């Protein structure tokens, strides 16, 4: 498991002058690939494996593997504002309309303790922000950002904090650790 920093591509191959996983994980053995993706401007938990069957099981839509995000949005969101997310909202995916599956969504009671982002988000004194927890089983391109925008709260910062029961814990941006055997078994059970 790796804490992908902000403005890092979820791939090993270079693309212009953007940072990639290779900038942080150069010592890994070959044939290890990310399970899914996190957008360039998103951060947080990214799993990597050389087990193609695990990769396939975790990514296959029929398993609807739950992913939890902490999302800092612009505006003063209340739990009632999130009812649409809990029912599913319509977003655009590849130019087509898509109704999202119901999400688990609520306002976090307090600002989560998260690492500083470099560069930090823009601060505007006159516009408040709110931290949300959003859990989805889908994985459409930029889905969470599109979902919060659809209800009138643009995403400022997005951190994936869990995939299934695997949480980011105390990892810091750019660091990783190997999952223990019990964690891998738990992932495999959830993916079946």
Measured over all CA atoms, what is the biggest interatomic distance in the chain, rounded to whole angstroms? Answer: 49
Query: Hey, what are 162's tokens?
Result: 């869990």
Kindly report the three-state secondary structure assignment for every residue of 90-110.
EEEECCEEEECCCCEEEECCC
Q: Is 51 a catalytic residue?
A: no
Pairing of strands 2-4, 43-49: antiparallel
- Identify which of 187, 93, 190, 96 has the alpha carbon closest to the alpha carbon of residue 145: 93
Annotated catalytic residue, options 23, 39, 51, 109: 39
DSSP annotation of 87:
H
Distance CA 44, CA 29 (A): 22
Distance CA 124, CA 126 (A): 6
Active site residues: 39
């Amino acid at each position: 498991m790796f804490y992908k920093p902000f403005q890092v591509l979820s791939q090993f191959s270079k693309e212009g002058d953007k940072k990639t996983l290779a900038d942080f994980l150069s010592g890994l053995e070959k044939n290890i690939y990310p399970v899914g993706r996190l957008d360039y401007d998103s951060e947080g938990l990214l799993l990597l494996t050389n087990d193609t069957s695990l990769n396939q099981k975790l990514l296959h839509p029929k398993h609807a593997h739950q992913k939890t995000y902490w999302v800092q949005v612009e505006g003063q969101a209340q739990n009632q504002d999130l009812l649409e997310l809990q029912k599913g909202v319509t977003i655009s995916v590849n130019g087509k309309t898509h109704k999202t599956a119901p999400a688990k969504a609520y306002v976090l009671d307090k600002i989560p303790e998260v690492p500083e982002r470099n560069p930090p988000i823009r601060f505007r004194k006159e516009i408040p922000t709110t931290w949300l927890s959003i859990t989805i089983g889908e994985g459409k391109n930029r889905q969470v950002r599109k979902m919060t925008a659809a209800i009138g709260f643009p995403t400022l910062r997005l951190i994936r904090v869990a995939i299934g029961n695997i949480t980011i814990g105390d990892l810091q941006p750019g660091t990783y650790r190997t999952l223990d055997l019990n964690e891998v078994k738990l992932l495999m059970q959830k993916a079946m």
